[in-house]
Amino acid sequence: MKIIQVDIANLDVPIRHAISTPRGTITAAHNVAVKLTTDSGIYGWGEASPFAAITGDSQQSNYLAARQLAEILLGQDALAIESRVGELFNATCGEPSLVSAFDMAFYDIAAKAAGMPLYQFLGGQLRELRTDMTIGLQTSVADTLAQAQEVLAAGFVAIKLKVGRDGLKDVEHVAAVRELAGADIAIRIDANQGWDLPTALASLRAMQSLNLDYVEQPLAAWNVRGLAELRQRQSIPVCADESLFSHIDALNLAHMAAADYLNIKLGKAGGIFTALKISAVAEAAGLKCMIGCFAESRLGVSAAAHLALARGNIHFIDLDTAYQFRQDPIRGGVRYAEQHGGLMQISDRPGHGAEVDESCLRTPYCIRL
């Protein structure tokens, strides 16, 4: 099944609430969409959602690199996913979001060719997926509580709070949300590398009674030894995010006993192919995973949700970004249930089920065999 056409375009969508983190503020999705068409007539869609502070790439670099990679892909077998992904990694350095987009399209094509929803093609089955909702860094506790109230009113049963403020300033924000939410709402916190080890220790010990699911990436991505020490010296589980891009990172984190959970993001891993390896390493090490996202539309979210359905050790779901979009450029794919905050309704169409409304795309580029 040869690739005979590659379409590339930019996709920009504003979001309702800016998400502020110690690594920067997201006010809109600045993504790149790719479409691969084969000689059988089957096509696949993928989406890159770069975040330079973490992945090292950008919409501009993804778009330009995509035009070069398209020439490599033309005439190649779309079903030979291992070979295609290997070629893309060999031809790029620092463009994991873009590799993820092409990978997503390969799997969309393969599942369509098999006549299966992607989760079934990957060996999974339907189960309930319910995402949390993220609240970015707010300047005051009152502002944090106002957003938490919106999340609770929408019916979400899990909240993720961005932290990483100086000193112990995060403690009062998290404590206030716990008091507002009550005991039955899950609360997770994400520092995005915003703390050093002494601040992390002091903050987490002060939050020990707040029944938190985990703290995500409390220390700098390179400081795996520090993550291991933090796990030993306090009781809140540690989740690795920016420290984890590949299955090799997963093996190192497991060997160092540096994390309780591993956060898989397709945009970090370079797509589903490597994400499956990460999940396998985690399972072998007795670790659970979460599935996360950057600023993907329901296209990228759909691919991630199908992966979560395919692997039982993907336990935590953090796929809320498209919920925040001011407009929806996607047809089909995963949807958020209106009456149950965070509940994800999975398409049973072959592939990941999502397509881009092409009228929403900007600067389209096409190359044909």
As annotated, the active-site residues are 162, 190, 216, 241, 265
- Strand segments (E) across the chain: 3-21, 24-38, 43-48, 133-135, 158-162, 186-190, 215-216, 238-240, 261-264, 288-291, 314-317, 330-332, 335-336, 344-345, 354-356, 362-368
Amino acid at 257: A
DSSP for 193-231, please give it. Answer: T---HHHHHHHHHHTGGG--S-EE--S-TT-HHHHHHHH
Instruction: Say which amino acid occupies 176.
Output: A
Per-residue burial over 44-77, b = 16 or more CB atoms within 10 Å of its CB, e = otherwise: bbbbbbbbeebbebbbebbbebbeebbebbbebe
* Residue closest to 362 by CA, chosen among 4, 28, 78: 28
HSE (side-chain half, CA atoms, 13 Å) at 70: 23
C-alpha angle with apex 308: 244 to 288, nearest 5 degrees?
Answer: 50
Residue keyed to tokens 């916190």? 189
Q: How far is CA 158 from CA 58, 132, 203, 323, 355, in A?
A: 30, 5, 21, 14, 28
Beta carbons within 8 Å of 155's beta carbon, 6+ residues apart? 339, 340, 341, 342
Structure-block tokens of residue 303: 């691919």
- 24-42 in b/e form (b: 16+ CB < 10 A) is eebeebbbbbbbbbbeeeb
> φ and ψ at 86, to 5 degrees?
-60, -40
Phi-psi region of 282 (alpha: psi -120 to 50; beta: other; left: phi over 0): alpha
